[in-house]
Copies of this chain bind each other. A is one copy, B any other.
Amino acid sequence: MDTSPTAHPEISSESGSEIRPAAGGAAGSRDTGRDDFRRELGQQLRVDSVRCSAAAGSGHPTSSMSAADLMAVLLDGYLRLDLGALDDPRNDHLIFSKGHASPLYYAMLVAAGSVSEEELLTFRRMGSRLEGHPTPRIPPTDVATGSLGQGLPIGVGIAEEIQRLEHVASRVWVLCGDSELAEGSIWEAFQHAGWAGLDRLTVTIDVNRLGQTRQTMLGWDLEAYVRRAEAFDWHAITVDGHDVAAIDSAYAEAVATVGRPTVVIAHTIKGKGVAAVENQNGKHGKPLEDPEGAIAELGGVRHLRVGLSLPPGRSDGARSSGSADADVVRIALPSWPVGESVATRQAYGEALTALGDVRDDVVALDGEVSNSTGTEAFARAHPERYFEMFIAEQQLVASAVGMSVRGRVAFASTFAAFLTRAYDFIRMAAVSRADLRLVGSHAGVSIGEDGPSQMALEDIAMMRAVHGSAVLHPSDANQTAQLLAEMADRPGISYLRTLRGATTVRTPPEEPVRIGGSRLVRSGEHDDVTIVACGVTVDEAVAASVVLRAEGIEVRILDCYSVEPIDAAALRAAAGQTRLVVTVEDHWPQGGLGEAVAAALAQTPAHPPVVRLAVRTMPASATPREQRALAGIDAEAIAATVRAELSRAEGEPHRLSR
């Protein structure tokens, strides 16, 4: 396979034996040697894309070949990145929004010297860092891509962090496919970036015309893309994506553009360089049938290397974790006296503000409902670290992920119901191993009159099914503040579900509250029943217990404020000491508290019956109190269920035995 390299004098034919320092952008100057090198580099990227896909027996070589010249120029001339010091904040960022062009991305890493040719050929194999679509398992990848339309929005978040919070020359380079421009999230990102004037951001669109099954909506109508980009206040440049000199000029123009992001709209040919696949439908997502012939047609295997450089400017070293001393944070947290009535969304806002007072890495983003979520308190106290994302939940989450890439501790908030809008982004954030803190207010039917469109009733299920997530639903203000501080220090995805209405403060400020924990609200030595609740239903459970005690039924109440991970030990203990478990939640029955409890107890031999109260009919408008009554999750419903189940057990003595 290893055919001889071309005659260009600067080209090394020995792997790694000669490294060409990156040329840097040189707009306007004609440098034939530089252009020749880049053309050769482009061919190498194609060859390596073909090679690794052939070795894997799958992959997207044709989608890689179209963008090879674009990425050759970027790598050789523009990308400034210290592969040996990835936490240097001066580094540029490169995001393959078209993640299926991973062969090209890995070929670039080979050329940059951070992946060996041997490793390249492990592409898509078990254990390889070179997955089918890039993930942060292979440095310098910031975020996983592969769900189209996400790389650009995350790039927008990174660019806004750099522009508003850092004083470095770092830039963000995003490669998009043309098919993914059908995604609304792309235009949501265009709109936000244009509004924010993010001139550190350059997007290349690889307009190869062909999608998976057919031509894209716009084909090669580059001017249509220009009109759209300009309408969103971007600087747009069209270019022949196989003319390295023209590409260089375009990138130089992008770097020189101030006050606006730039999009380079490149006319390219899918499968460029190999006649058997060039510009043909039906060649998407499969290795080439004759890779040896294709490699020969492309001029053979090459071993060019490019030495990347860093942006100029002072390095302030690796960013500190920003984590303040735990005691300082705890002292800083607001607290509320037991017995007070406070909405957890308000407690969240106050606690976040206090956290921001002692930790300057904390930032907040909100979807233009900050006066509803509670985030407005933070926005007032720390306006420089507040980011308004408007009614754009995908960009909200993407920006939070982007800020976490830059080391920020980002909290993103909106109505919990509207986080469903960004579920694909949240799912992918887990693949990205991102640290993402989400806060959703207005949980459940308890919001009242606004009706079901505004009610989060599936958010616990949705967030529990995100890999490695913590799903927290505090019942009072003091729990909220402490869980917020825990979230700030926790890697991975965490979610805080808050309430519109006030609940009674029951947790003493000094009582520890932790992810994975729970709280015994009340218990006795001879409890008949355990009620497991969280959020607003804790108040309902307490009200039910008062009634039941008067009837001689002893009630234990467990507040599972951490629904995921759930406190299985506490549940097993309670189940072992009572004859009945009743769960009650302001959420659909599927995937919520009740199923989490049932699953936690499922392996326990002979646990008592678990009866699950949840919202089972589509709500409409009503007051919060009426809503809970209609849903059968209020004190009366809890008490009635306990009575009915215990009296049923009288008739079936084997049923409920302690």
Contact = CB atoms under 8 A, between A and B. Distances in A.
A40 interface: no
A605 B656 contact: yes
A391 B602 contact: no
A465 interface: yes
B451 A620 contact: no
B461 A591 contact: yes
Contacts of A604: 609
Interface residues of A, number: 120
Nearest to A389: B182
Contacts of A135: 451-453, 620
Contacts of A594: 599, 602
A369 B212 contact: yes
Interface stretch (A167-175, A314-322, A421-429): A421-429
A604 to B, nearest CB: 7
Contacts of A427: 417, 420, 458
A454 B469 CA distance: 19
A148 B564 CA distance: 29
Given A391-B180, A423-B421, A133 B451 contact: yes
A308 to B, nearest CB: 26
A474 interface: no
A418 B424 CA distance: 7
Interface string A124-149: 11111011110101000000111111
A611 interface: yes
Interface string A55-75: 010110000000000000000
Copies in the complex: 2
A591 B591 contact: yes
Interface string A433-465: 100000000000000011111100110011011
A588 interface: yes
Nearest to A218: B195
Given A230-B227, A369-B212, A602-B598, A453 B420 contact: no
Contacts of A618: 430-431, 433, 467-468
Interface in A99-114: 99
Interface in A183-215: 183-189, 191-192, 195, 211-214
Given A370-B213, A424-B421, A391 B466 contact: no
Interface stretch (A256-264, A265-273, A331-339, A621-629): A621-629
Contacts of A623: 126
A413 to B, nearest CB: 12
A633 to B, nearest CB: 15
A216 to B, nearest CB: 7
A611 B609 CA distance: 17
A599 B590 CA distance: 9
B652 A453 contact: no
Contacts of A465: 457-458, 461-462, 588, 590-592
Given A418-B147, A599-B594, A126 B390 contact: no
A187 B229 CA distance: 12
Interface in A557-571: 564
Interface in A32-82: 56, 58-59
A595 B605 contact: no
B211 A390 contact: yes
B603 A131 contact: no
Contacts of A595: 591, 595-596, 598-599
Select the residue from A126, A453, A602 with max chain B CB neighbours within 10 A. A453
A599 B621 contact: no
A603 B454 CA distance: 32
A618 B390 CA distance: 32
Nearest to A179: B391
B184 A131 contact: no
A461 B596 CA distance: 12
A548 B454 CA distance: 51
Nearest to A123: B621
A655 interface: yes
A640 interface: no
A639 interface: no
B599 A147 contact: no
A368 B423 contact: no
B654 A606 contact: yes
Contact of A391 (B127, B149, B449, B626): B149
Interface in A632-652: 652
A183 B391 contact: yes
A369 B124 contact: no
Contacts of A458: 427, 462, 465-466
Contact of A195 (B217, B390, B391): B217
A354 interface: no
Given A184-B395, A211-B368, 18 more contacts: A126-B626, A126-B630, A133-B453, A135-B452, A135-B620, A148-B391, A182-B191, A182-B391, A184-B189, A187-B188, A214-B368, A418-B424, A420-B427, A421-B424, A423-B462, A461-B461, A461-B462, A602-B611
23 contacts: A133-B453, A135-B452, A146-B454, A179-B368, A182-B390, A183-B393, A184-B185, A185-B421, A211-B368, A213-B371, A228-B228, A228-B232, A428-B453, A461-B462, A461-B464, A462-B465, A464-B590, A589-B599, A595-B598, A598-B601, A604-B609, A605-B652, A605-B655
Q: Which 10 A-B pairs have the closest CB atoms?
A: A146-B453, A184-B188, A184-B184, A591-B591, A187-B187, A461-B465, A126-B622, A602-B610, A458-B465, A182-B390
